[in-house]
Copies of this chain bind each other. A is one copy, B any other.
Amino acid sequence: MTNTVPERSQEPAIDALEPFEVSFPCSHKIHERIEWNGHELLVPKRRIHLSNDDPPVDVYDTSGPQGCDVRQGVPKPRAEWIAKRRATNESGNFSQMHYARRGVVTEEMAYVAAREGVDPEFVRSEIARGRAVLPANVNHPEIEPMIIGTNFLVKINSNIGNSAVTSSIEEEVEKLQRSIRWGADTVMDLSTGDNIHETREHIVRNSPAPIGTVPIYQCLEKVNGKVEDLTIDLFLETLIEQAEQGVDYFTIHAGVLLRYVPLTAKRVTGIVSRGGSIMAKWCLAHHQENFLYTHFERICEVMKKYDVTFSLGDGLRPGSIADANDEAQFGELETLGELTRIAWEHDVQCMIEGPGHVPMHKIKENVEKQMEVCHEAPFYTLGPLTTDIAPGYDHITSAIGAAMIGWFGTAMLCYVTPKEHLGLPNAKDVKDGVIAYKIAAHAADLAKGHPGAQAWDDALSKARFEFRWEDQFNLSLDPVTAREYHDETLPAEGAKVAHFCSMCGPHFCSMKITEDVRKFAKEKGLETEEAIAAGMKEKSTEFTEQGGEIYS
């Protein structure tokens, strides 16, 4: 057994991220213009143009400005809004919740209202009530604002970040860009290796999506991995360092209380959250209560100044099916509910992290309990994985759980890539993870009956039924892959307008036959059930002879 770092492998060559237009043929970005408080807001959507006379399909777009110089970062739409706010804010509390509770609809709120197709006042009220968060650090003017809450579209988060073992700054920025290209709504930078500050700076400056971090990781680097040397002062100093850079939400494992730690002793997989295990070790080493808990109000003071949103970490989340919904997990959850109240007393925005590994029949209980004990603060879950037996395919084991938990009310789903439990995701893994979660989130939006969600499905299905192959590809989450799969069997251009495909061939195409059926029925005047019934009556003798056979 060894704890030294094994030799690092050659990274497989990663193709550069293709231009936006290549990822999404026949799409282009549009911006809805909104006047608000004297500012012009430009709210992005992606417009997919169709080959027939149907109107184009506009979809939510997270991809951000294209073609910017990575050293310069992306434009700063919020710069003016924030400057104005700085000039007038006397409380020192810049949180969206603070404004919302004072009846102010900020530019960010108006922006997300347009993005979600809802009333700005509704956005304000949800944020004021704590049922939604709008993560937007005042030092992250690059953000295209977005909202996380059970009454809005289900969001997804992608994790990136280097570790001591592998990966570079350029790769991480590209993983960011790849994540938002395919639909990630927020991105967490989980870097733990060298250049942690510089990597983060590049990520924030290039991100139109809110960025989350787990600050305890950097703290641990600062004490050379000695958990027992962690202190609240070091932690607060690190929070300020990251908040100054513009990080939008912090995962903080303040609910890992000393008394919960022994509850994990009999688990199959103990504590699987990195932050959770760090805090558990600290608690035991000092035989003291978690300093993130005891000093929680000092943390709130930092959060409100920058409008950093809490993502209260579930340090005791289950790491296996066997450990799901146990005492340790639910004990911590109650503490997170207590801390939510405290954050809200400070007008600090707050969401709650959730599991993990949960079999399907125990998923709903997670959401119900979280809503109850955390007063409907947005729930943000990792998967959950619905079985442990498929490492290498955990984007699928967890997309199942994610779709369900999203339907039940979870506001944001943290993606899991095929490499989960095995290694760090490469570019392809990031894309696979994001797309699996985009599927889960959209399936949840459909099941929740989110207004407008089904229009996308309907447009694609209509294109499919009408053999508009190009439109079917272009309307899919990943047009290039859809087209490639089609072309593997039928590459000729003729096949793109053919009234059948390679699955069935011309004689067996049900869509083709249905067309014939409809045409035939129309010619014969058999379009309605009544017409059929009338026809049946005429032929009743014949029918009775044959039908009689069944019942005789």
With A359-B446, A397-B439 in contact, do A284 and B494 touch (Cβ < 8 Å)? no
Asked if A482 is at the interface of the complex by the 8 Å CB criterion, the answer is yes
- A509 and B274: CB pair below 8 A? yes
A452: Cβ under 8 A from any B Cβ? no
The 8 closest A-B pairs by CB, nearest first: A320-B461, A164-B505, A270-B514, A6-B492, A277-B513, A423-B489, A360-B447, A277-B510
Q: Is A22 an interface residue when CB atoms closer than 8 A count as contact?
A: no
Alpha-carbon distance A13/B320, docked complex (angstroms): 39
A271 near B510: Cβ-Cβ < 8 Å = yes
Contact indicator A262/B547 (Cβ below 8 Å): no
Most B CB within 10 A of own CB, among A8, A261, A277, A404: A277
Q: A6-B492, A360-B403, A435-B390 are in contact. Are A518 and B270 (CB under 8 A)?
A: yes
Pick out which of these stretches binds chain B: A135-143, A370-378, A470-478: A470-478
**A269 interface residue (CB < 8 Å to B):** yes
Contacts of A399 in B (CB 8 A): 396, 399-400
Q: Tell which of A31-39, A85-93, A205-213, A531-539 binds the partner.
A: A531-539
What is the minimal beta-carbon distance from A475 to any residue of chain B, in angstroms?
A: 7
Expressed in whole angstroms, the Cα–Cα distance for A297 and B547 within the complex equals 11
Residues of B within 8 A of A511 (CB): 269-270, 272, 277
- Interface readout for A345-369 with B: 1 if CB under 8 Å, 0 if not? 0000000000001011100000000
Q: Which residues of chain B come closer than 8 Å to A404, judged between CB atoms?
A: 360, 400, 404
Q: How large is the interface on A (under 10, 10 to 19, 20 to 34, 35 or more residues)?
A: 35 or more
Which of B12, B264, B274, B387 contacts A508 (CB under 8 A)?
A: B274
Stretch at the interface among A94-102, A234-242, A303-311, A521-529: A521-529
Of B484, B505, B531, which is within 8 A of A193 by CB? B505
Minimum CB distance partner of A542 in chain B: B288
Roughly how many angstroms separate A418 CA and B192 CA in the complex, as a whole number? 35
- Check B389–A475 contact: CB distance below 8 A: yes
Q: Do residues B274 and A447 form an inter-chain contact, with CB atoms below 8 A?
A: no
Contact A268 B387 (CB under 8 A): no
Does any Cβ of B come within 8 Å of A83's Cβ?
A: no
A526 touches B294 (CB 8 A): no
A287-B524, A396-B439, A424-B502 known; 10 new pairs, CB 8 Å cut-off, are A192-B508, A259-B532, A259-B536, A272-B510, A274-B508, A289-B547, A342-B550, A386-B403, A397-B439, A399-B399
Q: Which residues of B contact A227 (CB under 8 A)?
A: 513
**A422 within 8 A of partner (CB):** yes
Interface SS of chain A = helix
Q: Are A277 and B517 in contact (CB under 8 A)?
A: yes
Q: Contacts A9-B487, A439-B396 given: A280-B550 contact, CB under 8 Å?
A: no
Q: Do A163 and B262 have beta carbons less than 8 Å apart?
A: no
A445-461 to B contact mask, C-beta < 8 Å, 1/0:
01111000010111011
**Once the chains are docked, how many angstroms separate the CA of A526 from the CA of B321?**
26
Q: Which residues of B contact A533 (CB under 8 A)?
A: 259
The yes or no answer to A54 lying at the interface (CB within 8 A) is no
Give, as a whole number of angstroms, the nearest-CB distance from A382 to chain B. Answer: 13
Q: How far is the CB of A355 from chain B (nearest CB, A)?
A: 14
Inter-chain contact A268/B465, CB cutoff 8 Å: yes
With contacts A426-B488, A446-B321 taken as known, whether A513 is within 8 angstroms of B281 at the C-beta atoms is yes
Q: How far is the CA of A282 from the CA of B436 in the complex (A)?
A: 40
Chain B residues with CB under 8 A of A268: 458, 461-462, 465
In the complex, A481 has a CB within 8 A of chain B: yes
Complex Cα gap A432–B6 (Å): 31
Give the CA-CA distance A268 to B448 in the complex, in Å.
Answer: 21
Contacts of A357 in B (CB 8 A): 461
Is A84 engaged at the interface, CB distance under 8 Å to the other chain? no
- A83 CA to B322 CA in the complex, in Å? 47
B359–A295 touching, CB < 8 Å: no
Q: Kindly identify, within residues 377 to 418 of chain A, every residue whose CB is under 8 Å from any CB belonging to chain B.
A: 386-393, 395-397, 399-400, 403-404, 407, 418
* Residue A204, interface by CB 8 Å: no
| A531 and B262 contacting across the interface, CB-CB below 8 Å | yes
**Do residues A359 and B447 form an inter-chain contact, with CB atoms below 8 A?**
yes
